[in-house]
Structure 1
Amino acid sequence: MLFRSSRPRRPLLVSLLSLVCWCGCLGALAVSAFGLMSFAAPDYWVADNMSFFLRQFLAAGLAGCLAGAVGLLLRHRFAMLYRTLWFCAFLAFLGLAGLTAARTMANTVDTAAQQEGRRPVKVISINIEHLFLGDAVLQAFLERENPDVVVMQEVLWGLQKLRWERLGLPAGGAGKNGFPAHLKIGELGGLVVYSRFPVLKEDSRVIQGELPSGSTVYYDADRELLALTLDTGAKPLHLVAIHPDSPRSESRWKNKRRYFDEVDRLVRSLQTENSGNILAIGDWNSAPWSARFQQTLEENGLSTAYPGGFPQTTRFFFHYRLHWILGAPVDQFAVSGGVQVTDVSLGPHIGSDHLPLIVELALEDVQQPAADPDPQSPADPETGESVD
């Protein structure tokens, strides 16, 4: 051989391990940069949407940094470059972890112990993804949980009503099968609230949205916002049902931000009345690490809490078994300062692509729910009251 290197050749396995370590460092740096985008540029569509995947970015970044740390024990042709790359990746990962932890704790309260002898108010929020309200799994879940209030999104009330009529049953099933007796429906039929407590006041708003190019007839850019004042026996509870547009395109992301602006105006108007407590709950289509979500909490003096103390998947993709990997925490709630959160948990898979969010609240002197209406008497779908 005319040209022979004096450097001994490394075994193939060591070379492959070195390549894996280089890829780990590069990957950790890349995913950390994607995650940091949501903090550095929250007013841009793509950057803000990175907040949905911070848990995945953190897991991938940690794996990459650990793989890179193994590479520190190997000899590399560009040793100084490798150590610099790993150090930058590690710093980026630490920065992302720190910012994520800080935003998780921002505007977050610890759950309080339920006072003995006082019944908590249990509220369940479910994006049912057009699941029929008469579904046996859904009804069995509600019967088992026995909630005081149920807030549902993506109901398609017009089609639900047709299905009930075909079965020859009162639309909505209020007062039966775990559904509380009082029924209220949003103006567009997407938001539906069942309540054991009488409804003192109702405010239904429609926020007009921009139609993205190429949208189908099925897609509706308009979204509704439903606010109900409930008579709990203590201070009235202002319940705000939330469901903005999903930010899958820039135009839909702008629709979501307009919706949040309207939520802010509504909450401020309720606070001006100074006549009760506030609970805003539903599918926010926003991760808790989104700057816009935190802005709504901070500017309106609202706080939240998470199941187990950390945001968990409520909306999953493809299959429930993959929800820890392919999913995002988008179902949230927020309460005003006068409300104590005693428990937050997630329900089981009920057939939707969202898991139920279960929140228990401590309100003083809550009256016991009235008995369900006569099961032989149909319920009015607009008021939930029994009619002869």
Structure 2
Amino acid sequence: MFERVVKFGRPLLVLAAWCCGLGAVFAASLGLSSFFAPDYWLSDNMSFFLWQFLYGGIGGTLCAFAGFWFVRSFRGVYRSLVVIAAIATTALAVLTGFRTVENTVPLVASSGDTREIKIVSINLEALFLGDPVLTGYLKEADPDIIVFQETLWNLQKWRWHQRGLPIGGPDTSVYPEHLLVGDLGELVIFSRFPIEDTSSLIIPGVTPPGASVHYNADREILSFSINIEGQTVDLVSVHSDSPRTARRWQNKRAYFDKMDAVIAERLESDATPLIAIGDWNSAPWSARFQRSLEANDLATAYPDGIPQVTRYFFDYRLRWILGSPVDQVAVSKDIDIVDVSLGPHIGSDHRPLLVTLQLPEQAKN
């Protein structure tokens, strides 16, 4: 019985084996394009999905290797296909590994002798600040600084006004007292520490045809300093355009150029520790992201040492299939990273990025 099933099913198994081999080569090639052609819209965007391409390359290669049991015709060609798939997938894995550790620093142990701050960054996707899931998470995480993107501040204020409540709600333990809102109302900061030396830089963007009224091609960079008991730390809140079209990709590249300049100016003017955090709309494997780190001598770290999905499409449960790591933190080399973790699904299409940072001891006076 089994032999009859194999006999009649062999053509389908052979077809599946060839498809797996070809699929592995295709997936690996898409991933490799982000390394070999990083300054083009399509290939640069492939860096968002390197996890998926690795899954496809490894799975396809293994299935194609198993296909040697069934493939009888053109075995030489088939063997070459499997070898190419294996080489391409291995190359993708190696390059991804090197890019992952590039400009990455190991976590340090928490110490009671040095000052630490906890920062959470969340792309709200217009989630109401009074949402019980969001406020519950913030109370549990208990950050010193909250960095929001896609806040729609005027609508947030209107919602609080409609409820007859002060901005932030009646529970003063959720949102710290010091508030900074960007000129576009898109970036919002809550801080336990005084906020000083603020600057909201708007980068004009080009709106593509057919864009929704909700879409704003203009983006802002919100930079400021916080005073932690006499110690000054610079922060840069970022949120570039999502490069889902070639035009928006160009908006993003222009944003990164301005962001690099803002960070460089902050570092050169006062030589204080600096933190850049937010929704970069860039995977850590993007050459442009790494270029920003190198240009400003910044370092980053990932949850458990591995870039993990922070932005997902359609459904949180499908995040490893339809998602990408786009929320990042970068720090100057005088800041140590104690912990990087991701929060749960809170109703947005992003997971919260929670970081604990250790400030330089020499600035503790």
TM bucket by the smaller chain? over 0.9
2:130 equivalent in structure 1: 134
CA drift of 1:177 comes to 3.7
- Match of residue 358, structure 1, among 349, 354, 359: 354
Whole-angstrom distance in 2 between the partners of 1:134 and 1:366: 39
Structure 1 counterpart of 2:327, one-letter code: D
1:349 equivalent in structure 2: 345
> 2:197 aligned with 1:188, yes or no?
no
CA drift of 1:220 comes to 1.1
Q: 3-state SS of the aligned residue for 1:231? A: strand
2:213 equivalent in structure 1: 217
Structure 2 counterpart of 1:48, one-letter code: D
Whole-angstrom distance in 2 between the partners of 1:32 and 1:274: 45
> 2:158 aligned with 1:157, yes or no?
no
The 1:129/1:366 distance shift into structure 2, 3 A limit, reads farther
2:3 equivalent in structure 1: none
Structure 2 counterpart of 1:78, one-letter code: F
2:63 equivalent in structure 1: 67
Whole-angstrom distance in 2 between the partners of 1:67 and 1:318: 29
Structure 1 counterpart of 2:51, one-letter code: R
Q: 3-state SS of the aligned residue for 1:343? A: strand
The structure 1 segments of at least 4 consecutive aligned residues displaced by more than 3 Å after TM superposition are 172-175, 364-368
Whole-angstrom distance in 1 between the partners of 2:323 and 2:183: 30
Max Rg structure: 1
- Match of residue 308, structure 1, among 293, 298, 304: 304
2:269 equivalent in structure 1: 273
1:377 equivalent in structure 2: none
The 1:169/1:367 distance shift into structure 2, 3 A limit, reads farther
- Match of residue 108, structure 1, among 79, 104, 109: 104
Whole-angstrom distance in 2 between the partners of 1:51 and 1:115: 36
Identity in percent: 50
Q: 3-state SS of the aligned residue for 1:72? A: helix
Asked if the contact 2:181–2:188 (Cα under 8 Å) also holds between the matched residues in 1, the reply is: yes
2:329 equivalent in structure 1: 333
Q: 3-state SS of the aligned residue for 1:194? A: strand
1:95 equivalent in structure 2: 91
1:168 equivalent in structure 2: 164
Structure 1: state its 5+ residue gaps: 1-9, 369-388
Structure 2: state its 5+ residue gaps: 1-5
CA drift of 1:119 comes to 4.9
> What's the RMSD between the two structures over aligned residues?
1.8
Which deviates further from its counterpart, 74-83 or 175-184? 175-184
Q: 3-state SS of the aligned residue for 2:125? A: coil
Asked if the contact 2:195–2:224 (Cα under 8 Å) also holds between the matched residues in 1, the reply is: yes
Superposition map of 1:19-34 within 5 A: 19-34=15-30
Which deviates further from its counterpart, 190-199 or 111-120? 111-120
Asked if the contact 1:118–1:365 (Cα under 8 Å) also holds between the matched residues in 2, the reply is: yes
Whole-angstrom distance in 1 between the partners of 2:170 and 2:56: 46
CA drift of 1:366 comes to 11
Structure 1 residues 241-263: Cα deviation after superposition (integer angstroms, max 9, x where no partner): 01011101111000000000011
Q: 3-state SS of the aligned residue for 1:218? A: coil
Whole-angstrom distance in 1 between the partners of 2:231 and 2:57: 47
What TM-score, normalized by structure 2, do the two folds share? 0.95
Structure 2 counterpart of 1:248, one-letter code: R
The 1:365/1:94 distance shift into structure 2, 3 A limit, reads closer
Whole-angstrom distance in 2 between the partners of 1:133 and 1:357: 17
The 1:258/1:75 distance shift into structure 2, 3 A limit, reads closer
The 1:128/1:366 distance shift into structure 2, 3 A limit, reads farther
Asked if the contact 2:334–2:360 (Cα under 8 Å) also holds between the matched residues in 1, the reply is: no
The 1:315/1:127 distance shift into structure 2, 3 A limit, reads same
Asked if the contact 2:335–2:360 (Cα under 8 Å) also holds between the matched residues in 1, the reply is: no
Whole-angstrom distance in 2 between the partners of 1:329 and 1:364: 28
Whole-angstrom distance in 2 between the partners of 1:327 and 1:337: 30
Whole-angstrom distance in 1 between the partners of 2:28 and 2:307: 19
> 2:287 aligned with 1:291, yes or no?
yes
Q: 3-state SS of the aligned residue for 1:151? A: strand
Whole-angstrom distance in 2 between the partners of 1:137 and 1:95: 42
The 1:120/1:291 distance shift into structure 2, 3 A limit, reads same
Whole-angstrom distance in 2 between the partners of 1:210 and 1:275: 34
Structure 1 counterpart of 2:290, one-letter code: Q
Structure 2 counterpart of 1:316, one-letter code: Y
Q: 3-state SS of the aligned residue for 2:228? A: coil
Structure 1 residues 30-58: Cα deviation after superposition (integer angstroms, max 9, x where no partner): 01111111111111111111111100000
Asked if the contact 2:231–2:363 (Cα under 8 Å) also holds between the matched residues in 1, the reply is: no
1:15 equivalent in structure 2: 11
Whole-angstrom distance in 1 between the partners of 2:348 and 2:29: 33
Q: 3-state SS of the aligned residue for 2:25? A: helix
Asked if the contact 1:234–1:365 (Cα under 8 Å) also holds between the matched residues in 2, the reply is: no
Whole-angstrom distance in 2 between the partners of 1:310 and 1:150: 23
> 2:189 aligned with 1:197, yes or no?
no
Q: 3-state SS of the aligned residue for 1:178? A: coil
